[in-house]
Structure formats: structure tokens, C-alpha cells
Amino acid sequence: MKTWKWVASASAVALTAALTVPAQADVSIDDIVNDAATAGDIVSNGIGPQGQRYSTLTKINKDNVSSLVPAWAMSLGGEKMRGQETQPLVKDGVMYITGSYSRAWAIDVSTGREIWQYDHRLPEGILPCCDVINRGGALFGDKFIFGTLDAKLVALNAKTGKVVWSKKIDDFKAGFSSTAAPLIVPSKAHGPILVTGVSGGEFGIVGRVEARKIDTGDIVWSRPTIEGHVGSLNGKPSTMTGKKNETWKGDLWKTGGGATWLGGTYDPDTKLIFIGTGNPGPWNSHMRPGDNRWSCSRLAIDPETGNIKWGFQTTPHDGWDYDGVNEVVSFDLNGTKAAATADRNGFFYVLNRENGKFIRGFPFVSKISWASGLDKNGRPKFNKDNYPGNPKDSKDGKKGKAVFAVPSFLGGKNWMPMAYNQGTKLFYVPSNEWGMDIHNEPVTYKKGAAYLGAGFTIKPIFDDHIGALKAVDPASGKVVWSVKSKTPLWGGVMTTAAGLVFYGTPEGDFKALDATSGKELWSFNTGSGIVGSPITWEQDGQQYLTIVSGWGGAVPLWGGEVAKTVAHLNQGGMVWTFKLPKTVAAN
């Protein structure tokens, strides 16, 4: 069984460099809602709250992208160089990033020099399941806000890095942590609110979504993601999630999982928050008969009340750890307000984002074994013989029948965000082709202990590749093109109006592809594996491109036989920013 123990940070300090800080205006809710349409800043995770990761910029294009050169690079320094999964934010000439071990920086984008650094003091005994990563922060007003591995939210003064407020999310000793970028959304009743989820699904916690006041961090509403639990609104109990024991038997809903560990997106058209929920607890499905709502689901939540407006469960009665947390991306499909999500379970789903109705679903990875397809409502057609066996059916009751299931529990797509191009009308999905030997074991809940009831080994299913960046057509269900990667893809994707797609590989190559054909147009090796998400923005008439490099994340920890393919890769922590030489940019 995997044991989690990480070295704590020694101090919680903001180190301010002796630099002239660019003049900064406060970030407004209009700035965030309209982020996708403004080229001069990136003030939301996803390059817009809808999560399309699409830039309207065209100065870097197919004709000149091959001439990109580094503008500057900055080291994150120290010994904490592992798993840099952040997406940077940029406002008025200042870049904000987070790093492994719950750290944050402000950087002058003109020079690449550090303005301030914040190191969060981490206690001994934190329990992150999947490395000491952090996926980014949120900007609002004069604050930069991010979550920490000991399950806290910290608001920093964006100009100085000093702590404005710090709030406990929950007990890290019970397995709670926070790694996702918070989401800022408008609310008529409460003003702009800070929306966060929780991590810890492997420890028997119960997932939830919370809205907080940005000025103080105080909770406005809370919505549990497992049926039977009651939410809160303005400090009072509100409504129950679902109906107690409707799809959970006995008391197992009390430790039901459903962690909201990736955070959410927001659609200004429907005024809904979309968020995914993780695996039910424990992994051993024979212990929890029923669909186990609302684990492995996508939920639409009303930002005014925290009530669930609709839910769509991608893997009912999950037996393979197919978390349903992957991002829900709003887009328009032939006049329909649609949303798309690429699930860990290997299927790509297109939903009506107004009501959650199923429009279409199809495989985006190969050799899916646990289901033969989806029915007219999007419910999987289970292959019953691909469930891991019940330990009670074995002679000694200690190990159920093992099966080989595809995809592996790390998913056809894991956390790494896809992108949608409004011009090509294609999604660009960082996917992985792998399977796993998996069996069930007996398990009993114990606070702070891994709550799995399963054993597993991940294996590749092809000789020549594991990762594949795929261009997916949501209208036809076809994979238009695929670019193979020998190692697993674990970083995010961005696309632009110039017909480009940017992504990185574990080998450290930051690449630009033709969005129509998948042809590689440019590559730069950053020195360490890329598991972060790229951004692009314009400043002083010039387009810039940034990626944070630094190998780590879940693959080297959980990857089984696949982990051997990346064992030689070096950890790191560098911020790389690129531009065109002026002689090229002028053409």
C-alpha cells in the first residue's frame, strides 16, 4: 500500500525583492468574466471562466512560430523542485504563479525578475495523494488567493505578497488538502464569491463545493457532493444533496468520497458553476451497492444558493477509480448551449449545459474494456466481467479476482486540461493509452488512512506510445488527428485564433502544432518535464507565451510499469517565457 509522507516547509514568509513594481489596477469581476476576450491579461484559470483555453491573439502564427525564442527564464529555486502543475496569471505587467509545496510568486514580466515569494509553512504529516503540486491561484481586487497542502486558503496582497487572511478548509489529518485554482464568479445576492473544492478522495472524506466572501474568506454557502449530506447557506442548514440512502446503502455515504479536487468552471450565459466529483469511497465497489451519487459526476450549481441545478453521472457505481472531476468546458454546438468533458473513464461527453441532458458521447481512447459504449441517455453499458471481483468470493476473503481494465485508474484523461478552438471547432485532448491489473481487498475506514480496498499495477497497451494529443470533433464524435507521445501526457493544452496548439511533454519539450493537421511547427526543450498549462498574452504590442516546467505529479508515484518509462526524467522548476524576435514580429 502506498504511504504518504512529505517534508514540511520551514517557513511562511513573503520575500519582497528590491524592485520597482509595475503599477497595478485591481482585478474586477468584469475582468474575470470577460477574460477570454481581453488579450492584455490572463486573470482566470482556463483563460476565461468557461475553460476553453483559447486565445484570440494571432501575432504568433503558423508562418512565424518556428522563430520563437526565450524572452526570459526564472528558476523557482531551492530543493522543492517537483511537480510544477501551475497555470500562470498575468495582470498589468506582473505574473503570478504557484509552485510545489504550497509556494507562490509574483514576477515582473518585462524582466523575469521575482517581485515577491511566499512560502507556506506546512506541518508534518500532510496527506496529498498525488504529489506536492499546486495548480494555480485566483486574482481579485488586490488579492492573490490559493489553496495549500494542509487544507487552507491563503489570500495574499498581490503587490507585496503579505498575508491578508488565511482560512482552514478542513482537517489535513483526515486526508483533506487543496491543490486546485480557486474560481471567482459573480453573484447578485453575495457579490463576487470565491468558489473552491476539496481534495482527499482516497481517504474517505466527503467532497463539497464552497463559496466564500473574498474580503474575509468567510463561508457563504457549502454544497456536499454525496447524497444524504446537508448543505449550508448564510450560516444555516440549507438543502440535502439528493435523498439519503437512495443510491447508497447503510452508512457508507458518510465516507463516500466524491472529492472536488480539480475545481470548476463558470458559464456567464447560464450563470452556473460546473464542477466534477471524484471517485466514491472505498474503491472496492462490492462494499457499496448502488449508483453512489453524486460521485464520478458533473454538477451544475447555482452560485446564489449552492443548490444543485442538474447532475450527470459518468461512471455510476465506479469500480475502477474513474474520477469524474475533469473540467466542463462551455461552448456552442450548432445553436445549442453545450458543454464538453473528457472523462477519466475514456469517454468524451457533450451535454446541454442548460439542463445537463446528454447530447452525445464516444470513446476518445482505445480498447476501453469496462463498458461497451453508452446508451441513449449517456449511461455506460457495463461489461460486468470487467469489474474487479469481490474478495468475499475468494477462499480466504483477502483478495478478489483480478481483471485487466482499460483505461487505467489514472484515466484516458486525468487533471490536465484540454482546449477548444472557436475557429476549428475542435477540442484538443491530452490523453493516455494504458490499462491496469486491478483487484479488490477488504478495507475499513480509519481517519487519515488510505481508504482504497484495491491493489493495482498500470501497464501500457501499445508498444510505441502511451500519451496522445488528440483533436476531437464534438459534432461528429471523430478523432480528427492524433500525435503520439512515448511517455504519458500530464500537462495542459492551449490553442489560439492563429490556428496553433501548444502543449508540453514529460521529456520537457514545449511544442506548437498546426491546429488543423497536428503537424509540429516548433519545439523547445525546457530541461525538465512539463506538467503545467501554457498561457499567452500581449504586452506593449508584442505577444508572449509562458509555460512552467518541472516534472512530477501522479505518474512517477502511481504509474506501476509505466513509471519505469519516466524514471530517468529530472525534476525541476523553471518559468519559461517566449516571444518573437522583433525583426520577425514586424513581418
> For residue 297, which amino acid is it?
S
**Element (DSSP H or E) covering residue 531:** none
CB of 533 within 8 A of CB of 553? no
CB of 471 within 8 A of CB of 482? yes
Location of C-alpha cell 501500457: 460
Is 321 tagged catalytic?
A: yes
Catalytic residue, chosen from 131, 170, 321, 323, is 321
> For residue 410, which amino acid is it?
L
CB of 278 within 8 A of CB of 415? no
Q: Cα dist. 550→55, 150, 432, 530, 535 in Å?
A: 24, 22, 19, 6, 16
Q: How many Å apart are CA 439 and CA 228, to the nearest integer?
A: 29
Q: What's the residue count for the chain? A: 587
**Element (DSSP H or E) covering residue 32:** helix 29-33
**Element (DSSP H or E) covering residue 582:** helix 582-585
Q: How many Å apart are CA 183 and CA 48, to the nearest integer?
A: 11
- List the grid coordinates of 18: 528590491
Q: How many Å apart are CA 217 and CA 240, to the nearest integer?
A: 24
Q: What pairing do the DSSP bridges indicate for beta strands 494-496 and 54-55?
A: parallel
Among residues 220, 218, 229, 236, the alpha carbon closest in space to that of 257 is found at 229
Catalytic residues: 321
